[in-house]
């Protein structure tokens, strides 16, 4: 459908996008914002395509609302200076709302503006499409664009990874490459707030030690080799910095804020937008049910294990409706579901554990009910959110990895499974003894067990276990 007003809008975007996007990538003083770690990976894919015409040519960047996807897209756009390359940034959300059009209409009118069909372009064209999920047929559109011309590369952002992946079939999946945008890591937080740079290899060593060692002794030896560098990194960091990071530092837009209450309020607004805007796009809930979804988050902020019976009774909803509500929260990226360890039958019978995908989300709910002693009272749950957030980021999304927990009383917080082997992980806000992982270790016979707490780095040959300070783990 050709539309003169839409064509004028597209022409304006081509001309004014650099100035508009500059405001998204700089602070109020005009200083450029720091680029997140994932920026370099995205930029490399773009440069490789321009130099070698190599795949991937369609890159989808899903993530929880507020994790900086639009800023990343703007930074990529502005980093592209080659005069021989055409580029355009478009907010699909804005276009759909303003003109009531779909992606096909947008491209048809873009072709009118440039005076040729996409198949006819003879120089590279890079499309930067923000909030692509506002068109329900986005996946088919991307496949079609991929097949139309090898001159086209597309970067696009969208809502949570699970929501977007649920919408594509195998044919589309072969052409689309996903790069998830996760909450801010502690190293990024320190870089953004205090311009403190880390030694990249240290985090890689710790991650490789935790996931790919043969026993606890090997984990210990690998980490011990870089321990002096880890301690040097922490020398000049305020002891309350981890607490600030947990409370509100996992979202890029709060990193410049010194006002805790304002930052927490911003996070609450993000949650509300996810519930009121993102979830209704994929789940046809009535307004009354959406109100109860907010109540679900409020209730699970107090606990980790969810009793479906008690929760459905408290909310006065049917168990099937509650399951769908929890599924929507998981798909939207607000919560991380950790199933019980064991067979599929056991997982169906036993309750899953629901963590917030960042501890800042839990803190925003908890802060609405109390203030005195809040962090101390709930830091165990928030530390578990934090470790779950990190594990969700570093564990491969596909393949033979799985993240579960021991549902029995006193069982381990996490069990990382790779193929036929397990690693037991226990998280503690204070100091923890090795005996806290014994019961789970006896049941699953892991390659080794890990305790993440405030203890010093330590190794127990007797229990085939290692204590890793939370400070060390945060550098992954």
pLDDT of residue 106: 97
Please, what's the b/e burial string for 80-92 (b: 16 or more CB within 10 A of its CB; e: otherwise)? beeeeebbbbbbb
Indicate whether 286 pLDDT > 50: yes
Average of per-residue pLDDT across 101-106: 97
Please, what's the b/e burial string for 185-203 (b: 16 or more CB within 10 A of its CB; e: otherwise)? bbbbbbbbbeeeebeeebb
CA distance 361 to 267: 7
Q: Coil, strand, or helix at residue 330?
A: helix
Indicate whether 398 pLDDT > 90: no
Is 73 within 8 Å of 61 (Cβ atoms)? Answer: yes
pLDDT of residue 346: 53
pLDDT of residue 344: 52
By the 10 Å C-beta count (0-12 exposed, 13-18 middle, 19+ buried), 453 is classed as buried
Cα–Cα distance list, 415 to 177, 240, 343, 358, 424 (Å)? 28, 29, 14, 19, 5
Angle value at C-alpha 137, between 73 and 25, nearest 5 degrees: 10
| 113-117, 232-236, 375-379, 402-406: segment of lowest average pLDDT | 375-379
CA distance 283 to 166: 12
Single pTM value for the model:
0.93
Is 428 within 8 Å of 454 (Cβ atoms)? Answer: yes
pLDDT of residue 343: 63
By the 10 Å C-beta count (0-12 exposed, 13-18 middle, 19+ buried), 419 is classed as exposed
Indicate whether 172 pLDDT > 90: no
Q: What phi and psi values does residue 441 have, to the nearest 5 degrees? A: -60, -35
Sequence-distant (6+) residues with CB within 8 A of 402 are 416, 417
Q: Which helix (H) or strand (E) holds 473?
A: helix 470-473
CA distance 452 to 466: 9
Indicate whether 455 pLDDT > 50: yes
pLDDT of residue 373: 72
Average of per-residue pLDDT across 384-408: 90
Average of per-residue pLDDT across 422-449: 92
Indicate whether 433 pLDDT > 90: no
User: For the segment 232-277, what is each residue's pLDDT rounded down to a tens digit?
Assistant: 999 999 999 999 999 999 999 898 888 999 999 999 999 999 999 9
Indicate whether 226 pLDDT > 50: yes
User: For the segment 8-54, what is each residue's pLDDT rounded down to a tens digit?
Assistant: 999 999 999 999 999 999 887 788 889 999 999 999 999 999 999 99
Average pLDDT in the chain:
92
Between 107 and 167, name the one with better pLDDT. Answer: 107
pLDDT of residue 345: 46
Instruction: Report H helices in 195-259.
Output: 200-212, 216-224, 227-234, 241-248
Sequence-distant (6+) residues with CB within 8 A of 408 are 439, 440, 443
**Angle formed by the axes of helices 374-394 and 241-248, nearest 10°:** 70
Indicate whether 466 pLDDT > 70: yes
Indicate whether 348 pLDDT > 60: no
pLDDT of residue 25: 93
Q: What phi and psi values does residue 423 have, to the nearest 5 degrees? A: -125, 125
């Amino acid at each position: 459908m050709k539309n003169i007003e839409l064509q004028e809008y597209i022409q304006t975007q081509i001309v004014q996008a650099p100035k508009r996007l500059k405001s998204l990538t700089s602070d109020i003083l005009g200083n450029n914002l720091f680029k997140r770690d994932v920026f370099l990976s995205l930029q490399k894919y773009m440069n490789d395509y321009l130099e070698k015409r190599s795949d991937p040519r369609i890159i989808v960047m899903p993530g929880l609302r507020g994790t900086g996807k639009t800023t990343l897209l703007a930074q990529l756009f502005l980093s592209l200076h080659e005069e021989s390359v055409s580029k355009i940034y478009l907010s699909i959300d804005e276009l759909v709302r303003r003109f009531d059009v779909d992606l096909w209409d947008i491209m048809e009118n873009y072709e009118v503006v440039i005076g040729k069909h996409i198949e006819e372009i003879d120089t590279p064209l890079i499309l930067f499409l923000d909030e692509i999920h506002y068109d329900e047929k986005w996946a088919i559109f991307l496949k079609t664009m991929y097949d139309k011309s090898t001159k086209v590369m597309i970067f696009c952002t969208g809502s949570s990874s699970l929501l977007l992946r649920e919408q594509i079939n195998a044919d589309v999946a072969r052409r689309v490459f996903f790069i998830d945008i996760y909450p801010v890591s502690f190293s990024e937080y320190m870089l953004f707030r205090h311009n403190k740079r880390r030694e990249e290899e240290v985090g890689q060593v710790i991650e490789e030690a935790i996931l790919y060692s043969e026993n606890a002794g090997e984990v210990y030896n690998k980490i011990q080799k870089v321990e002096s560098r880890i301690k040097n990194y922490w020398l000049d960091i305020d002891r309350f910095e981890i607490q600030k990071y947990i409370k509100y530092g996992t979202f890029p837009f709060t990193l410049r804020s010194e006002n805790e209450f304002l930052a927490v309020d911003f996070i609450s607004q993000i949650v509300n937008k996810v519930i009121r805007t993102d979830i209704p796009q994929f789940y046809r809930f009535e307004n009354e049910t959406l109100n109860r979804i907010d109540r679900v988050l409020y209730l699970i902020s107090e606990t980790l294990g969810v009793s479906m019976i008690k929760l459905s009774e408290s909310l006065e909803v049917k168990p099937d409706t509650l399951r769908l509500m929890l599924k929507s929260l998981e798909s939207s990226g607000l919560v991380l579901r950790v199933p019980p360890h064991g067979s599929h039958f056991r997982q169906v019978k036993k309750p899953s554990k629901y963590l917030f995908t960042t501890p800042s989300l839990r803190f925003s709910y908890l802060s609405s009910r109390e203030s005195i002693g809040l962090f101390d009272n709930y830091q165990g749950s928030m530390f578990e959110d934090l470790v779950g957030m990190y594990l969700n980021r570093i564990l491969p999304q596909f393949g033979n990895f799985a993240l579960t927990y021991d549902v029995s009383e006193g069982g381990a917080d996490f069990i990382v499974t790779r193929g036929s082997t397990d690693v037991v992980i226990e998280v503690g806000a204070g100091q923890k003894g090795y005996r806290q992982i014994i019961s789970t270790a006896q049941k699953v016979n892991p390659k080794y067990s890990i305790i993440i707490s405030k203890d010093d780095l330590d190794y127990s040959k007797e229990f085939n276990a290692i204590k890793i300070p939370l400070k060390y783990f945060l550098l992954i």
